[in-house]
Structure 1
Amino acid sequence: MTKQEFIQFIENLRVEFIKNNAQWENKTIEDFLEAMARYVEDIDGYYQNINQEIDLEKIDWKVFSDILKGSSIYE
């Protein structure tokens, strides 16, 4: 994922939040950041479940976008 693609992803995520706020599990920044920390701890399981080998020691824009998206619903 390029920097520009990541910027577009962030904009799309913002629009999705505005439109579908009721569907997001973590609606405050505090809840979102807490979920993000927990999601990062467990993200290797996500990649194993979808059969992707990702080097999580070198987070790129794609992984960061997965973290942001996952954190919106992670409990």
Structure 2
Amino acid sequence: MFVRGLSAEFRERGEEWENATLGDFLEAPASCVEDSPGWYPNVGWTMPGGGDRAFFARVLDSATVYG
């Protein structure tokens, strides 16, 4: 699973990450979502349609209490 891979990478090299604190890490996806309408065309990609942002939000919210 991708998220487990990120977790393992953080344990191994988290000090090298741009967003090495939880607060900074959580702020980063918010910025990515806000900037994506301009970012996608700038890198030559097509903005994906739809997407289940509600699912992503529920996952992040659940992570505050899930152990």
Q: Show the counterpart of 1:20.
A: 13
**In structure 1, distance between residues paired with 2:16 and 2:37:** 25
Q: Which has the larger radius of gyration?
A: 2
Helix, strand or coil: the match of 1:45? Answer: helix
TM-score, structure 1 normalization: 0.54
Matched, 1:59 2:51: yes
Helix, strand or coil: the match of 1:59? Answer: coil
Matches within 5 A, 1:1-75: 8-56=1-49, 58-59=50-51
- C-alpha displacement at 1:47, in angstroms? 2.1
Is the Cα–Cα contact under 8 Å of residues 19 and 25 in structure 2 kept in the other structure? Answer: yes
TM-score, structure 2 normalization: 0.59
Greater relative CO (CA pairs within 8 A, separation 6+): 1
Structural RMSD (CA): 2.1
